[in-house]
């Protein structure tokens, strides 16, 4: 890999992030989270794009200072073109375009989902990068899919959710429990003190490698409504057990299809990516399959799981080597296939 220095910019949802990569080593990875969404229980698109506008200059400046480089050392600018919230993407896209123009360096568009997967090739993401072909369970607030990764830019979605994403299920069920947004990490923490077998919830019965998470959400909602009628403090008194049981169900749903795919395609290289890959029960389930099924597992370092610009810079570096540049007339796109 070349030693070029590239700036990556991510603004697809509610994190404004900038990172500097040299070769595949991250020199800096800065993010500004947007606390403004908490009180609304979810991301408010208009507020997100306004916060990106406020954050983007200080975040990019900080990434350059932290990397200890001069602006003129940057060989290209990578940016998330999609998928994501259009208003948010536009802030990063416009900024990347103007900076590329003023520094007179190439502009490189990055697909956010490819970036979650290719984050595995950052030098300190894993002790060893995955070998092609590998399976990557990509699980975030907006996406849940099993991807067959044949090469860096040759990926096939073999299964995906037919309704909610796994992260969305964590967040929506968290809302039923009156937890803050995003509830995924909170459920993970509370589950540590709970009994995962205390309650059972409905599991989807879908063919092939597809997922569904709306059923478990409804099952939890009806169960809670019924119990709260009998005991108004039911949630408070059982919160740890509820979180542990919900987490167990979601992780079992995710792992069952991943195991089926690994078995049927005879692949033992298995990775996880995206915000939900930070989940401790999912990480443990992967570890168990390494021991039980002989999987070579790839679990990215925590900071490369939720949205970050390091993964954007990584993809930009791979595209830079291939001479794949983007025209300055480009614009953001809310939908962007793998
Ligand atoms: O990849 P990401 O940062 O943003 C999207 O592209 O969606 O993923 C965010 C999602 C949220 O739904 C959040 O609740 C979930 O990832 N998440 C977790 C954990 N950490 C983040 N879900 C379960 N357990 C966690 N530890
Ligand atoms: Zn993401």
pLDDT digits (tens, 9 = 90+) for 232-248: 999 999 999 999 999 99
Q: Ligand 2 centre and the CA of 87: distance in Å? A: 16
- Domains of the chain (ranges plus CATH)? 5-119+305-322 (3.30.420.40), 131-299 (3.30.420.40)
Pairing of strands 269-273, 154-160: unpaired
Buried-exposed string 85-108: b where 16+ CB fall within 10 A, e elsewhere: bbbbbbbbbbbbbebbeeeebbbb
pLDDT (0 to 100) of residue 33? 81
| Nearest ligand to the CA atom of 167 | 1
* Residue 321, pLDDT above cutoff 90: yes
306 vs 313 pLDDT, higher one: 313
Sign of CA dihedral 266, 269, 272, 278: positive
The atom number, within ligand 1, closest to the CA of 116 reads 1
Residue 61 near residue 200, CB atoms below 8 Å: no
Ligand 1, atom 23, lies closest to the CA of 184
Q: How far, CA to CA in Å, does 286 sit from each of 133, 157, 225, 293, 297?
A: 18, 20, 34, 10, 7
Two structure tokens written together for 169 = 């299920």
pTM of the shown model:
0.95
Q: Ligand 1 centre and the CA of 140: distance in Å? A: 5
Q: Ligand 2 centre and the CA of 198: distance in Å? A: 31
Condensed to tens digits (0 to 9), the pLDDT of residues 53-107 reads 999 999 999 999 999 999 999 999 999 999 999 999 999 999 999 999 999 999 9
Q: Quick one: how far is CA 217 from the chain centroid?
A: 21
| Nearest ligand to the CA atom of 272 | 1
Condensed to tens digits (0 to 9), the pLDDT of residues 132-185 reads 999 999 999 989 999 999 999 999 999 999 999 999 999 999 999 999 989 999
Is 140 annotated in a binding site? The answer is: yes
Which residue from 299, 195, 214, 203 is spatially nearest to 253, judged by alpha carbons?
203
Q: How many CB atoms lie within 10 A of CB 50?
A: 16
* Residue 217, pLDDT above cutoff 90: yes
Given the structure tokens 């590329």, which residue do they identify? 100
Residue 51 near residue 16, CB atoms below 8 Å: yes
């Amino acid at each position: 890999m070349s030693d070029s220095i590239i700036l990556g910019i991510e603004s697809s949802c509610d994190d404004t992030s900038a990172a500097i990569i040299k070769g595949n080593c991250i020199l800096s990875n800065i993010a500004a989270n947007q606390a403004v969404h908490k009180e609304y229980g979810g991301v408010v698109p208009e507020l997100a794009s306004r916060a990106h506008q406020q954050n983007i200059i200080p975040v990019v400046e900080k990434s350059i200072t932290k990397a200890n480089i001069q602006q003129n050392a940057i060989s290209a600018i990578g940016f998330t073109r999609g998928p994501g919230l259009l208003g948010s993407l536009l802030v990063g896209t416009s900024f990347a375009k103007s900076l590329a123009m003023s520094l007179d360096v190439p502009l490189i568009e990055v697909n956010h989902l490819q970036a979650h997967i290719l984050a595995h090739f950052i030098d300190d993401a894993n002790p060893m990068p995955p070998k092609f072909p590998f399976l990557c369970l990509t699980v975030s607030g907006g996406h849940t899919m099993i991807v067959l990764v044949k090469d860096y830019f040759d990926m096939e979605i073999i299964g995906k959710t037919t309704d909610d994403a796994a992260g969305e299920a964590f967040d929506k069920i968290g809302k039923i429990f009156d937890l803050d947004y995003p509830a995924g990490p909170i459920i993970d923490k509370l589950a540590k003190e709970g009994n995962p077998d205390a309650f059972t919830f409905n599991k989807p019965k879908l063919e092939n490698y597809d997922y569904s998470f709306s059923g478990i959400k409804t099952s939890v909602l009806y169960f809670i409504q019924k119990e709260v009628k009998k005991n108004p403090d039911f949630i408070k008194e059982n919160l740890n057990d509820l979180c542990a049981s919900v987490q167990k169900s979601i992780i079992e749903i995710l792992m069952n299809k991943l195991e089926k795919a690994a078995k049927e395609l005879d692949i033992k290289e298995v990775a996880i990516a995206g915000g939900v890959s930070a989940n401790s029960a999912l990480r443990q389930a992967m570890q168990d399959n390494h021991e039980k099924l002989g999987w070579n597992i790839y679990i990215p370092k925590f900071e490369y799981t939720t949205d970050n610009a390091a993964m954007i810079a990584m993809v930009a570096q791979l595209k830079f080597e291939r001479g794949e540049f983007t025209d300055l007339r480009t614009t953001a796109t809310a939908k962007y296939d793998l």
